[in-house]
Amino acid sequence: AAAIKRAKEKEGRIDILVNNAGVCRLGSFLDMSDDDRDFHIDINIKGVWNVTKAVLPEMIARKDGRIVMMSSVTGDMVADPGETAYALTKAAIVGLTKSLAVEYAQSGIRVNAICPGYVRTPMAESIARQSNPEDPESVLTEMAKAIPMRRLADPLEVGELAAFLASDESSYLTGTQNVIDGGSTLPETVSVGI
């Protein structure tokens, strides 16, 4: 609430909200502590929920607003071992996006989700360190090899998609899941092709 108050004081109003919260701690479902599970839920769901709830009334009053949710391909489209809590929370963001889009479309509010694959961010580097503390760079290299475009996304590419979803150019989009993953969700898991 304090951050929103400061933003309003500085800018006068909030027209665009980008919910870019995300944490991922690796751990198998049975080994994950309740504290680690709640850590994911508190940041990845409750943080998004609370900020959106604080900003939305002003957008409704103006009958104009754009909300961009940062989800993931993990959870709703694909899954990785050790990312159960992360997958749970990012799938929830897709549901929240669609629900808010339907509920507030007639109030002039557009709500869309971005579903990135692997992006070269501190979080991806943290996952790589958790996966292989001795050689995290090899994990990032293997991630890139598994992506049809053979690279991780640059954070600026995801930012450009967020800017598009917040712009007038996307004025007829709401409730969408916008995948930006270099094609990683496209291949069959077992290929019998050429």
Q: Residues with catalytic annotation?
A: 86
Instruction: Kindly tell me the sign of the dihedral angle through the C-alpha atoms of 28, 32, 36, 40.
Output: positive
The answer to whether residues 114 and 68 touch, using CB atoms and an 8 Å cutoff, is: yes
Strands 16-19, 109-116: pairing is unpaired
Q: Report the C-alpha gap between 106 and 126 in whole angstroms.
A: 41
The answer to whether residues 162 and 18 touch, using CB atoms and an 8 Å cutoff, is: yes
